[in-house]
Chain A
Amino acid sequence: MTSLKLSVQIAWVHLVTKPKQTLIAMLGVTFGIGMFIAMVSMMTGLNDLTESLAMTSSPDIRIYHDVTTERKSIAEELNLNGITKVHHQKPKNESLKVRGAVKIAEQIRKHPLVKGASVLLNSQVFYNYGPVQLNGTIAGVDILEEDKLFDLKSKMKEGQIENLITNQDGILMGTGLAKKLSVRTGDRVVITTPQGFTKTLKIVGLFQMGIGAVDNVKSYANLGMVQTILEKEKSYITDVNVKLYDFKQAKAVAPEFQQAFGYKSEDWETANATMLLGVIIRNILTYSVAITLLIVAGFGIYNILSITIHNKMKDIAILKAMGFAGKDVKQIFMVQSLVIGFFGSLLGLLIGFVLSLLISRAPFDGGDFLSIEYLPVNFSSTYYMIGIVFGIVTTALAGYLPSRKAANIDPIEILRG
């Protein structure tokens, strides 16, 4: 029989003869790990949802003409040798048109990282239905190209995207906007452009991206029709949308396009910065709370082992007299803390899983902002791995100091009485 096996047996007897104490120490770890799992699962679930919504509702890269970009003033251009400063520059009255947009899109499609590119025309409009008047946007698109990028077919709640092709004066409306206007498929709405042009359009379908910022304001229409109501020429395009094979490379690729075409090129992370900031803050919160819980559990274990060792001074002395070395005694108490840590963590994972399951079944109304019925929960095994590793490491650390104390106890001091 090896020395370790004997240490494990003695440790085991210690644990089972004081079941209440063992259980309390274990529950400390269980609670810490369980809450960690539940919190991380919920937070990352929410983060993943936010990220995927940000992804589906906006292109990986959007190329447009940014009229607010800083430009050289005339004074600077004329006074080359002097020092000129123009304060509070007013944006130049420029057209939002992206020149040669179709050619740009063609070139972008040849890029090896690009999955697809489409051109569109975005404009602010008023939607009127009876007395209701709402501010929103309209996007003139080639609906089939748009579908390739955003998988619109799967987002349709009523009607089909092909209806737009057969019906030149049709529009596909966001569900949120339709609800606000209280219109249904087949109804006719009147739209008014900022220039005062008015046109009656027929709703041929409703889509839902799942994110209020889009569904509550946006409609799709045919490119040619939007060009007509804005009284613009056939080449008038305001945006080129780009989808990459790997959306994570958007930030790296975007400046490349800006350089090549001379138009503002914005990646999805920049466009959804506020939304993604929430992700970062939630992560910080989750991890700080989880780590605090585990540290508290660690102190609990330290405390209970310290008391155990204090109560077992005589036993430790007798073990040492009988020929157990300091390291054997240390082993006995390390085994105890590791058993507490392992089973406590394991139970914690189970409780964390059950909690996550309950959370994922809890009805939750995302309101206008997010269209979800239940809280999103991430069941990724990564967090369960982190949980058990962290649980065992904390308990090992919490057990080490008291164990070392036990190893260094001088038996004579105790045996002399």
Chain B
Amino acid sequence: MAVLKAHKISKYFYEPEKFQVLKEVDLSVDKGQFLALVGKSGCGKSTLMYVLSTMDTQYNGELEIAGTRLTDKHQNFLAGFRNKHIGFVFQFHYLLPEFTVLQNVMLPALKLGSKSKEEIEAKALEKLNILGMQEHARKMSSKLSGGQQQRVAIARALINDPDIIMGDEPTGNLDTYNSDLVFDIFSELTHTYKQTIIAVTHDESFAKRSDRVVEMSDGKIIHG
């Protein structure tokens, strides 16, 4: 069953001159799939992921996630949708430095507001436990190492039980040890919890170990 369906996605950049970065891309992702989006720099893989993430709305074509059509929806609706259905993991982990680890993980759930604070806290600790970070819960997020921060970011992405986790070079800034760790976590999430993951990556070893590799070139999918 497809959790994400993209049909004929096209996108242009207008600066410095008009350039078609995505050329009628079709993509369908099944639930529980661990998909790696690869390709050379400038092939449009990051751009595609940001269109799929609903943050970039300047495109032509159709996008549907978890049965909801997201094309031409208002920014505020999309923000709410991301909150509930999509979790993000970025290259530079991007935790909020003034907050503790636990607060960082809790934030998206507090924003969603469907549970009490106590329930959210228990759930955040549970997610941190999955990632082996429970002991650091009360520390300030800025006190953690890069690999630790990335694991907290994954816990944060998981807090609202999203339909899809999207990663933009999630291991791009990590050493081999931490890269492997993050990969193992992603593998476990897909195989144990049936979590759908889409990750843009340069890391070949990372791509090889995923369920499905989608390779892009010049704004088109050439493989997968």
Contact = CB atoms under 8 A, between A and B. Distances in A.
Interface of A: 1-3, 6, 13-14, 17, 314-315, 317-328, 411-412, 415-417
Contact of A3 (B81, B94, B96, B111): B111
28 contacts: A1-B110, A6-B107, A13-B98, A14-B98, A314-B92, A315-B96, A318-B88, A318-B90, A319-B96, A321-B53, A321-B82, A321-B90, A322-B82, A322-B83, A322-B88, A322-B156, A323-B80, A323-B81, A323-B108, A323-B112, A324-B79, A325-B76, A325-B79, A326-B76, A326-B79, A328-B79, A415-B94, A417-B92
A415 B53 CA distance: 12
Contacts of B103: 13
Contacts of A13: 98-99, 103
B113 A2 contact: yes
Contact of B84 (A1, A314, A323, A416): A323
B168 interface: yes
Secondary structure of the B contact surface, majority rule: helix
Interface residues of B, number: 32
Nearest to B81: A323
A2 B117 CA distance: 11
Given A6-B110, A415-B168, A416-B46, A321 B55 contact: yes
Contacts of B94: 314-315, 317-318, 415
Contact of A320 (B55, B112, B168): B55
Contacts of A314: 92, 94
B190 interface: no
A325 B80 contact: yes
A314 B98 CA distance: 13
B60 interface: no
A6 B90 CA distance: 23
A11 to B, nearest CB: 11
Given A1-B110, A1-B117, A326-B79, 18 more contacts: A3-B111, A314-B92, A315-B97, A317-B94, A318-B94, A318-B96, A319-B107, A320-B55, A321-B88, A322-B88, A322-B108, A322-B111, A323-B80, A323-B82, A323-B108, A324-B79, A328-B79, A415-B94
Contacts of A6: 107, 110-111, 113
Contacts, number: 76
B71 interface: no
A6 B103 CA distance: 11
Q: 5 tightest CB-CB pairs across the interface, nearest first? A: A323-B83, A325-B79, A17-B98, A325-B76, A318-B94
B50 A412 contact: yes
Contacts of A325: 75-76, 79-80
Contacts of A320: 55, 79
Contacts of B46: 416
Nearest to A17: B98
B168 A327 contact: no
B203 interface: no
B75 A326 contact: yes
B111 A328 contact: yes
Given A17-B98, A318-B96, A322-B82, A327 B76 contact: yes
B56 interface: yes
A318 B83 CA distance: 11
Nearest to B84: A323
Contacts of B217: none
Contacts of B111: 3, 6, 322-324, 328
Interface string B37-69: 000000000100010010110000000000000
B91 interface: yes
A412 B112 contact: no
A412 B58 CA distance: 12
Interface in B141-173: 156, 168
